Amino acid sequence: MNQQNTGDIDEQTAALNERHRVRMERKKAIIDAKIASADKQIGIIIVNTGNGKGKSSSGFGMVIRAMGHGMKVGVVQFIKGAMQTGEELFLRRFPEEVSFHSMGEGYTWETQNRERDIEKALQAWEQAKRFLADPEIGLVVFDELNIALKYRYLDVETVINDLLARPAMQHVVITGRGAPPELIAIADTVTEMEVVKHAFKAGIGAQAGTEW
Amino acid sequence: MNQQNTGDIDEQTAALNERHRVRMERKKAIIDAKIASADKQIGIIIVNTGNGKGKSSSGFGMVIRAMGHGMKVGVVQFIKGAMQTGEELFLRRFPEEVSFHSMGEGYTWETQNRERDIEKALQAWEQAKRFLADPEIGLVVFDELNIALKYRYLDVETVINDLLARPAMQHVVITGRGAPPELIAIADTVTEMEVVKHAFKAGIGAQAGTEW
């Protein structure tokens, strides 16, 4: 490569870097303005739904995010519960920081008993309400609550009334497929986890550390 | 309500419960068969992408899931890093279990310096490669790696070759918007987090415990 070519490449790189700088400067101005206007601090309701992965694990990621900031956390697992998950095994190490309740007896197709499922769901919601009445708890996670609502084990209107009556600064994360439209309507942040690809379909089983 | 009506309702409830039982029995048979055929146990690559919430938090939920099963974890945060997040504050409590590396100096639009970003990304990838060479580490999380690939701070082919050369049982979670198609092609599980609603748009600012 001769002197002329090296010079061209240097110039090209310099131009690329300058374009990047200008673009990012513009982006920073837009984002800074957005941040300045979004200054409300208030407890929010987050719903993770859809058929893809990451609904529950995102809820548990938020648990440690909150714990990192010194917040107390309450967790109620609806529907799941027959098998101890990694997150449960881990979070039970911190009884002072996380109050963990796992109710139900496995996924609903394991029990095949609707009346027992309803009874378990109602018990779980009683615990949920205790968290929703406690301003010391900064974050509550209701894992797989959407499933209990979808099967009408719990009444969506009752659940919404209890959610809206919680302490002003308390955050709530609700997970599970098929979030009802009434819940989406009152939530602040809703994410649909969509499957692009799933290892299970390729014959890879549920594994400790990734699936449970 | 007379005796006859009560009897009708009891019968209706019994019929509903029985239909539920039959439906769940069928569902259990289908799921059991799927589980039996999906018996491969192998390290997988999980990609969380899309514009919605939950990409990073899901990765951190998987960190504690893995820790609950006694696995060692390595984390590299690309791009983010100027502000200490709750997950970082929390996970640094467990230096024996989690090796946490936070590189970069804030989002790319904060620095506006492409060359420095590239240098930081290359340093971060060197750390990533050390995790990918260590069979003692059961799970590695490359948080916001997709952003570094999108801006071409890192070469996607190099990254893929290093990922594919990792220990057979090691799981990898990669997060960030705009996952490149080459990465999606080699991943086992890919989820697109889609925004249905975002609290930020309603003027609610980024808050400790939910956003960072």
Q: Using the predicted structure, report yes or no on whether residue B13 has a pLDDT greater than 50.
A: yes
Nearest residue in B to A39, CA atom:
B205
Q: How far is B103 from chain A (nearest CA, A)?
A: 18
Best mutation target, B114, B139, B184, B186, to test chain A (most A CBs within 10 A): B114
A133-A136-A142 Cα angle (round to 5): 60
* Percent of chain A clearing pLDDT 70 (strictly above): 88
- pLDDT-derived band at A211 (thresholds 50, 70, 90) equals confident
Q: Which two tokens stand for residue A150?
A: 């979808």
Best mutation target, A77, A197, A211, to test chain B (most B CBs within 10 A): A197
- pLDDT-derived band at A111 (thresholds 50, 70, 90) equals low
Class of domain B40-195: alpha beta
Choose among A56, A48, A140: nearest CA to A98: A140
Q: Using the predicted structure, report yes or no on whether residue B203 has a pLDDT greater than 90.
A: no
What local confidence, expressed as pLDDT, does residue B104 receive?
59
B27 contacts on A by Cβ (under 8 Å): 109
For residues B50 and A167, what is the distance between their CA atoms, to the nearest angstrom?
32
For residues A75 and A177, what is the distance between their CA atoms, to the nearest angstrom?
18
For residues A172 and A189, what is the distance between their CA atoms, to the nearest angstrom?
10
Identify the residue whose tokens are 């068969």: B33
For residues A99 and A128, what is the distance between their CA atoms, to the nearest angstrom?
11
Residues whose CB falls within 8 Å of the CB of residue A35, separated by 6 or more in sequence, listed in order: B205, B206
B20-33 pLDDT, tens per residue?
888 888 877 777 77
Q: Which CATH number fits domain A40-196: 3.40.50.300, 3.40.50.620, 3.40.190.10, 1.10.3720.10?
A: 3.40.50.300
Q: Using the predicted structure, report yes or no on whether residue B7 has a pLDDT greater than 80.
A: no
Q: Pick the residue with more confidence: A156 or B32?
A: A156
Q: How far is A103 from chain B (nearest CA, A)?
A: 18
For residues B188 and A106, what is the distance between their CA atoms, to the nearest angstrom?
26
The answer to whether the Cβ–Cβ distance between B114 and A16 falls below 8 Å is yes
What are the Cα distances from residue A204, in Å, to B38, B58, B135? Answer: 5, 20, 20
- When pLDDT is averaged across residues A116-133 and rounded to a whole number, the result is 93
Q: Which two tokens stand for residue A187?
A: 């939530």
For residues A185 and A170, what is the distance between their CA atoms, to the nearest angstrom?
18
For residues A145 and A124, what is the distance between their CA atoms, to the nearest angstrom?
10
For residues B162 and A181, what is the distance between their CA atoms, to the nearest angstrom?
44
ipTM, 2 dp: 0.80
What local confidence, expressed as pLDDT, does residue B106 receive?
55
B54-102 pLDDT, tens per residue?
999 999 999 999 999 999 999 999 876 556 789 999 999 999 999 999 8
Identify the residue whose tokens are 């769901």: A121
For residues A14 and B115, what is the distance between their CA atoms, to the nearest angstrom?
10
Alpha helices in chain B (DSSP H): 3-37, 55-68, 86-91, 108-111, 114-132, 145-150, 156-164, 181-186
A70 Rama sector, left if φ>0, alpha if ψ -120 to 50, beta otherwise: left
> Structural domain boundaries of chain B?
1-39, 40-195
The residues with which A75 forms a beta bridge, in sequence order, are A100, A141
Tell me the count of A-B CB pairs closer than 8 A.
283
Least reliable range by pLDDT among A108-112, A171-175, B37-41: A108-112
Choose among A73, A22, A57: nearest CA to A144: A57
Q: b/e map of B28-39 (b: 16 or more CB within 10 Å)?
A: beeeeeeeeeee
CA dihedral B139, B142, B146, B152 (to 10 degrees): -130
The answer to whether the Cβ–Cβ distance between B212 and A65 falls below 8 Å is yes
Q: Pick the residue with more confidence: B116 or A39?
A: B116
A65, B86 in Cβ contact below 8 A?
yes
Best mutation target, B119, B189, B198, to test chain A (most A CBs within 10 A): B189
Of the candidates B38, B48, B184, the beta carbon closest to that of A200 is on B38
B171's enclosing H/E stretch is strand B171-175
For residues A184 and B108, what is the distance between their CA atoms, to the nearest angstrom?
32
Nearest residue in B to A29, CA atom:
B109
Q: How far is B127 from chain A (nearest CA, A)?
A: 22
